[in-house]
Amino acid sequence: QVQLVESGGGLVQAGGSLRLSCAASGDTFSRYVVGWFRQAPGKDREFVAAINRRSGGTYYSDSVKGRFTISRDNAKNTVSLQMNSLKPEDTAVYYCAAGARLILSSFQNGAQYDYWGQGTQVTVSS
């Protein structure tokens, strides 16, 4: 079992940057694919980015590609999401999630993840 805690959210102006962190405890972290999802008020949860287990292969939604960077440090049991050139439409609660049995084709499917953090609010003002 894995426990996930997000941090780093806040209020930023459009064009600014934030760095989110997801700290994991419990099971061997390197066994898990880790994804970031977000949910804005009144909208469905949306895939943002994911990073593979040991290989560190990364995957992004089209809406954040080129602006966000996901990375992981298995020695420190953390995954980060560097968010640059933020836009008001990036405003949402951001969640990290971990899944042990995910395959590449399912990285964007939140239902395939086993564990979720409590979320951290990101607000981008125009």
Q: Is the pLDDT of residue 55 over 80?
A: no
Spatial distance between the Cα atoms of 81 and 88, rounded to a whole number of angstroms = 17
Q: What's the pLDDT score for residue 105? A: 79
Spatial distance between the Cα atoms of 115 and 60, rounded to a whole number of angstroms = 20
Confidence band for 39, pLDDT divided at 50, 70 and 90: very high
Confidence band for 102, pLDDT divided at 50, 70 and 90: confident
In sequence order, the 6+-apart residues with CB closer than 8 A to the CB of 22 are 4, 5, 6, 34, 36, 78, 79, 80, 81, 96, 117
